[in-house]
Amino acid sequence: MKKSWIAPLLVAVMLFLTPQPCSANRLIQPQSVTPSRSDSGLQLPDQDSRELKFQDMLMLFLLPHIEKKIADIYSPLLRESPMVYPYFVDVTEVKRLNGFRGFDFLITLNVYPTVGPHISVGEDTMTFRISPGPKVKLESFKHLKDPKKSDFPPNYQNILR
């Protein structure tokens, strides 16, 4: 009879140590991370699709070219280069330059670079030409928005020039 407490104790331990599913991801809204994106009225996807997979692969391919230009543009504004995350780049337009099934493209992107814990530092539009080879050339660039001091917490204001 003295050992009758062992079984309930084992059940209690197993209940506390068993991983429980978490639904916190459903509570987090992606727009809360970058105010500039939610202000732009863009609808962020909430599930995966074939188109989104191809867009994400394209971003991985273009990311080194995007980061290089962003570093050049923001060097007079910031003491450190901003980061560009593939999920903070929106494809706004894709054109085939040489007709159906041609492999010469113009791709226009809106880029939202960040520093630190995803502090938005601006907005930029880039148009790349992707042609066989593959060759990537930045055709045009437009800086739309500078960093604002009011968007930076006190411990990150030293990043601004």
Residue 92 belongs to a domain: yes
| Residue that has been written with the tokens 């990043």 in this structure | 159
This prediction has a pTM of: 0.70
pLDDT, tens only, 69-88: 999 999 999 999 999 999 89
Residue 23 belongs to a domain: no
Residue 67 belongs to a domain: yes
Total domain count for the chain? 1
AA letter at 154: P
Q: Beta strand 123-131 with 135-145: parallel, antiparallel or unpaired?
A: antiparallel
- Check residue 20 and give its pLDDT: 57
- Check residue 26 and give its pLDDT: 43
- Check residue 142 and give its pLDDT: 97
Residue 61 belongs to a domain: yes
Residue 78 belongs to a domain: yes
Residue 146 belongs to a domain: yes
The arithmetic mean of pLDDT across residues 41-56, rounded, is 79
Q: Which class for 120: exposed (0-12), middle (13-18), buried (19 or more C-beta within 10 A)?
A: buried
For 90, the domain range is 50-159
- Check residue 60 and give its pLDDT: 92
pLDDT, tens only, 130-139: 999 889 999 9
The arithmetic mean of pLDDT across residues 108-130, rounded, is 94
Residue 27 belongs to a domain: no
Is residue 32 pLDDT above 60, yes or no?
no
